[in-house]
């Protein structure tokens, strides 16, 4: 059951990554230069109240230094890359290993 949850989360994250990549590709073609939208810009456009709430929550519980030194650099990365990495990690956690493929059977 828990593997299914991680695989579902991987599928959702991959879907979001593809949507964000298509949006960036469309913008790139439209302006004839490479466009990679940072995650914070996409998040602020989609839901500015949740971005502000998340920022205040992290600042209150971990301190402003954590937000400024860890979260902001991650949010400055392209959104499709963040969600692609999340999809890979969720899939890796939910992956079912089959015995005997690359291991010696005992």
Confidence label for 100 from pLDDT (cuts 50, 70 and 90): low
Supply the pLDDT for residue 103: 61
How many whole angstroms separate alpha carbon 14 and alpha carbon 97? 21
Output the pTM of the full model: 0.83
pLDDT in tens, 3-51: 999 999 999 999 999 999 999 999 999 999 999 999 999 999 999 999 9
Supply the pLDDT for residue 34: 95
pLDDT in tens, 71-94: 999 999 999 999 999 999 999 998
Structural contact between residues 18 and 98, judged by C-beta atoms closer than 8 angstroms: no
Select from 72, 88, 65, 64 the least CA-distant residue to 7. 88
Supply the pLDDT for residue 96: 78
């Amino acid at each position: 059951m828990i593997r299914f949850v991680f695989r579902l989360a991987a599928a959702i994250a991959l879907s979001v990554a593809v949507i964000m990549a298509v949006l960036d590709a469309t913008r790139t073609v439209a302006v004839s230069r490479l466009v990679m939208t940072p995650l914070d810009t996409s998040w602020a456009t989609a839901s500015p109240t949740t971005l502000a709430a998340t920022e205040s929550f992290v600042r209150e519980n971990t301190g402003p230094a954590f937000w400024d030194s860890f979260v902001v650099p991650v949010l400055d990365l392209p959104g499709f890359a963040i969600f692609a990495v999340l999809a890979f990690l969720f899939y890796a956690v939910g992956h079912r290993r089959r015995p005997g493929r690359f291991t010696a059977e005992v």
